[in-house]
Structure 1
Amino acid sequence: MMNFNLIVSTARSYERQAECELWFNLLAIGDENPIFTQTGNPGLILAQTDCEPRKLIKHLKESVEVHDPNSVNFLQKIYPIDVVVPTEIDLIRQATIDLAANHPIAKDSNSKFRITIRKRQTRLKTNEIIPVIAESFSNPVSLKDFDWNIQIEIIGEKTGISILTDHDYFKLVNEN
């Protein structure tokens, strides 16, 4: 498995269509050679782009909200990944601390945060990971009313980590 800076979900059996749609949108913002990897999990694709991942998120939101609501059909969710580390609790913890140290919203001691963990192909348990990370921060925790989210995406031996706000990810909303 390669390094990645985007994690993409689509409907089962539509991975190739999602890759084409993703490639087209990455090309539109300047990346001619993104790399895609199917994970072995139906509907889950990893991508490595030379473009800033949040630029893609902004582009997709504008495409859907401003230009054409039907411009995106196969890309259901896209999360930017800030750093990828081996799936070891100590490395995940340290990478999270390092990311937060450089993130403006995480530096605000009054801002509330949440930790979201998605696990695939691992035996690690969520309740083994969350306390180790949460104890590293003095900010208040809120599961519903949070300012930033520590997003941890575990896929086998690799873990992608991001600090996200509500504007940093793409979710396709079908109104049908």
Structure 2
Amino acid sequence: MRKFNLIVTTLRGQENLAAIELEDLLRSLGDESPQVSLTSVAGLITARTNLDPFEVINKVREIIKEEPWRIGNLMRLIPIEEVVESNLEEISQVVEKLSSKIPEDATFRITIEKRHTSLSSSEIIEMAAKKVNRKVNLKNPDWIILIEVVGAFTGISVIKPDQILSIAKLQKIR
């Protein structure tokens, strides 16, 4: 799927169940026509929702607190702000645009997740870092520039660390 705004992980072999669960979940949150797609990567699905993906994550966080049994096959939900073709020039342009929301006194880290690509992580990081004039903090950044390469397409977000939802971690906290 070219225009996704959520990446969701699940256990290998559970992709179909996770896709059904995600579609039902998005519908229950108010999206009448979510598009959920399997990818060529085991354990990874993408979705296009008409809802704000950041709000979806906040609402799923609440569901886990109040009705944890509703989430059984989803492991992580990752909001995606822009999707481009997997080439350094397009990735670079979007990183430059999205990173403008990082305050001047804030720190950042670049996180790369690569699947089914020959792009080099070091090349992506080097190119992206040149576009961001902020301090780097690899251990405890204020912001994360997340670059998710999934074959021919790359999802990019500039997010705070708590804007990725790890369902397993949240369920352990309960």
- The alignment's TM-score, normalised by the length of structure 1, stands at 0.92
The size of the alignment, in residue pairs, is 171
What is the CA-CA distance between 1:71 and the residue it aligns to?
A: 2.5
In the alignment, the residues of structure 2 paired with residue 26 and residue 36 of structure 1 have an alpha-carbon distance, to the nearest angstrom, of 10
> Which whole-Å CA distance do the structure 2 matches of 1:3 and 1:89 have between them?
18
Q: Kindly report the root-mean-square deviation, in angstroms, between the aligned alpha carbons of the 2 structures.
A: 1.4
Q: CA deviation at 1:167?
A: 2.8
1:70, CA displacement in angstroms?
2.7
Q: Compute the displacement of 1:40 (Å).
A: 1.2
Higher mean alpha-carbon deviation, 27-36 vs 74-83, is at: 27-36
- Percent identity of paired positions between Structure 1 and Structure 2: 36
What aligned pairs does 1:16-165 form with structure 2 within 5 A after superposition? Answer: 16-65=16-65, 67-101=66-100, 103=101, 106=102, 108-165=103-160
Q: Which has the higher helix share?
A: 2
Shift of the alpha carbon at 1:135?
A: 1.6
Residue deviations 1:76-98, cap 9 Å, x none?
00101000011110110110111
Q: Which of structure 1's runs of 4+ aligned residues deviate more than 4 A?
A: none
Per the alignment, residue 11 of structure 1 pairs with: 11
- The normalised TM-score by structure 2 is 0.93
Contact 1:2/1:37 (<8 A) preserved: no
What letter is aligned with 1:83? E
Deviates more, 1:144-153 or 1:68-77: 68-77
Q: Deviations over 1:2-33 (max 9, x none)?
A: 31111010001111111121112211221121
- Using the alignment, how far apart are the partners of 2:86 and 2:2 within structure 1? 14
CA contact (8 A) 2:95 2:131 kept: no
Per the alignment, in what secondary structure is the counterpart of residue 167 of structure 1? helix
CA distance in 1, matches of 2:64, 2:22: 14
SS at match of 1:33: coil
Task: List per-residue Cα deviations over 1:89-146 (Å, max 9, x = no partner).
Answer: 0110110111122x2xx0x211010000011111011011101111222211111110
Question: Matches of 1:113 and 1:15 in 2, distance apart?
Answer: 32
Structure 2 unaligned segments of length 5 or more: list them: none
Gaps of 5+ in 1: none
Residue 2 (1) aligns with residue 2 (2): yes
